[in-house]
Amino acid sequence: MSTVIVVGSVNVDLVAAGGRMPRPGETVAMARFAQTQGGKGGNQASAAAALGATTHFVGAVGDDSYGRSAVTDLQARGVRLSGLRTVPEPTGVAVILVDDSGENSIAIIAGANATVGPAQVDAALQAIDGEAVVVACLEVPVPAILAAARTTRARGWQMILNPAPALALPPELIALCTVLTPNETEAAALGGVDALLAAGAGSVVVTRGADGCEIHTAGSEPTFVPAVQASVVDTTGAGDTFTAALAVALADGRPLPEAVRFAAAAGALATEGFGARGSLPTAAEVDIRLTT
C-alpha cells in the first residue's frame, strides 16, 4: 500500500451557504450555516486515506473542543496522528461563504497551525519507514515546510507543494519540490510557471477548475488535461483532494500525466457534496468516473 505524509493545517470550517457573495460593505442573507472539518492539510490527509493510502498527518491543534472534534474526525477516517501536537493555542478556524454556484470565499485564522515548526516536522518524517510521498500547503509556516522538503529530499521521497494561500517562497523550497500544484491565481502570485521551473521545480501543475489543468515540466511542451464532469454542490476542498490524489497516484508509481488525470477526477468528485470533506471519493469511484 502506498504511503502519503501530509504536513499541514487543521481548521474547523464555519460555513454560510446558499445565496450570493456580499460585496465589500454589504450584508446579505444566506440560506444555511454549518460547522464542518477543514484545513487544507486535514482535507488532504482525509482524501488520501479515502483513496486507500496509508496516511500520516503532521500538524497542530489546540486543547479545545474544535481540536478534539478535528482529531476525532481524522482518526475516524483512518489518518495516523503520531505527528500531531496539541498546543496552548486555539485550533485554526476558517470562515467560509459558499454561493449558489458552489464557489467559495475563505478567510483563515491560523491559531495552532502557526506553531508547526521545523523540529516537529523533521522528527515526524524521520520516524516513518519506507517509501512515501510528502504533501504540504502554506497554511503552516514556511520554515516547517522547508524542513519537510529537506527531509523529503534526504530520504529520496517525492515532495508535492500546494502553494495555497500563495506566499513568496524561498528558492530552495521551490527547487526541492517534485511537483507544485497552484491554481491560476497562485501561479501568477508566485511569479508564473516559467519562474517556478527556472527556480528548479520538477513540474508545475496549474489547476483551472472547470477549465481543466496544465502540466508544465522544464524542457517539455505543456500538456493539457481536461476537467472531469461533475454536478457541483460546493468547490471547497476540491483542490485539496486534487493534490492528495496526485500524491496517492505518484506513490503508486503512476507517471505524472496519468496521475494528473486521476487527480482531476478525484477533485471533480469532491465538489459533489457539501463541505470540504463531504464527498471524498474512493479509488474505485475515481476509476469509474474516469471511464464514464
- How many residues sit close enough to ligand RIB to count as binding (CB under 6 A)? 16
Q: Which of residues 41-100 bind ligand RIB (CB under 6 A)?
A: 43, 94
Q: Identify which of residues 13 and 214 has a Cβ nearer to ligand RIB in the complex.
A: 13
Binding of ligand RIB at residue 11 (CB under 6 A)?
yes
Stretch that binds ligand RIB, among 6-14, 80-88, 181-189, 203-211 (CB under 6 A): 6-14
Stretch that binds ligand RIB, among 25-33, 128-136, 183-191, 236-244 (CB under 6 A): 236-244
| Residues 189-228: x where in contact with ligand RIB by CB under 6 A, - otherwise, as a string | ----------------------------------------
- Of 125, 276, 280, 286, which lies in the binding site for ligand RIB, with binding defined by CB under 6 A? 276
DSSP 88: S
Q: CA-to-CA distance for 48 and 72, rounded, in angstroms?
A: 17
Other residues' Cβ atoms within 10 Å of the Cβ of residue 281: 23
Binding of ligand RIB at residue 17 (CB under 6 A)?
no
Q: Which of residues 98-117 bind ligand RIB (CB under 6 A)?
A: 106, 108
CB 290 within 8 A of CB 264: no
Binding of ligand RIB at residue 139 (CB under 6 A)?
yes
Annotated active-site residue in 99, 129, 240, 252: 240
Cell numbers 520554515 correspond to: 143
CB 42 within 8 A of CB 170: no
Binding of ligand RIB at residue 236 (CB under 6 A)?
yes
Beta sheet of 179-180, edge-to-edge order = 80-87, 54-62, 3-7, 133-137, 158-162, 179-180, 203-207, 213-217, 223-225
Q: Identify which of residues 242 and 262 has a Cβ nearer to ligand RIB in the complex.
A: 242
| Active-site residue flag, 240 | yes
Stretch that binds ligand RIB, among 61-69, 77-85, 197-205, 231-239 (CB under 6 A): 231-239
Cell, residue 235:
468547490
Cα torsion 190, 194, 199, 201 to 10°: value is 90
Closest CA to 86 of 97, 70, 75, 102: 70
Stretch that binds ligand RIB, among 76-84, 180-188, 215-223, 235-243 (CB under 6 A): 235-243
Cell, residue 65:
473542543
Binding of ligand RIB at residue 186 (CB under 6 A)?
no
| Residue 210 backbone class (left: φ over 0; alpha: ψ -120 to 50; beta: rest) | alpha
Binding of ligand RIB at residue 13 (CB under 6 A)?
yes
Cell, residue 254:
503512476
Q: At what angle do helices 238-251 and 40-50 cross, to 10 degrees?
A: 50
Q: Which residue lies nearest ligand RIB, judged by its C-beta? A: 38
DSSP 171: H
Q: State the amino acid at position 165 in one-letter form.
A: P
Give the binding site for ligand RIB (CB under 6 A).
9, 11, 13, 38-40, 43, 94, 106, 108, 139, 236-237, 239-240, 276
Q: Which residues are catalytic?
A: 240
